[in-house]
Amino acid sequence: YYKNLTFEWSNLFGSCGEPQRCGFYKDKQKYNDDDLIKADRQNPDVFFHFLENGDVHIREGLNEKEHKMAEVTLRVFNLNPSSGGVKAERRRAIELSMTLIKELVGCASQLIESGCEIEDVRSMVFDEFKKNVKDRCFTTAIKHVFENRMP
């Protein structure tokens, strides 16, 4: 189609090679490029919130354009299937991180109960969390679960 755009940065989407989602799946969908979230330019945290069960929800408070971009991105990349797929992989990554999450949340709760400043504790514990999960898959989903549980 547009071979001259093959290696144009604005035309590239970083994605996995799974046929049921991401790039290969995207290429079979109908959509307007302007309605997709480009994770290298727009922070997906602004658009999405991940839950412990692996679901991804569109955040509240988005304007009409942002909400449409979130919907189209979820659909076009098949990021929130009704079952299995990437949703199951996210859920598994979260499950594998729950021991760490519970330990750090427990430490944070104890420190806060002992009189330490809440924001100092949150910052310290979050730094420790980031060190431990930086190389894991689905770090944003794991981070959202961690943040939801933090005191």
Reported for 85-89, long-range contacts at CB under 8 A and 24+ positions apart, including other chains, are 85/18, 85/20, 85/21, 86/18, 86/21, 87/54, 87/55, 87/56, 88/54, 89/54, 89/137, 89/138
Q: Of 146, 30, 141, which is closest to residue 87 (Cα–Cα)?
A: 141
Tens digits of residue pLDDT in 61-88: 999 999 999 999 998 888 888 888 889 9
CA distance 91 to 98: 11
CA distance 121 to 118: 5
pTM greater than 0.85 (yes/no): no
Highest mean pLDDT among 15-24, 43-52, 69-78: 43-52
Domain ranges of the chain: 17-77, 85-149
User: Would you say 78 and 45 are in contact if contact means Cβ atoms under 8 Å apart?
Assistant: no
Tens digits of residue pLDDT in 23-33: 555 566 677 87
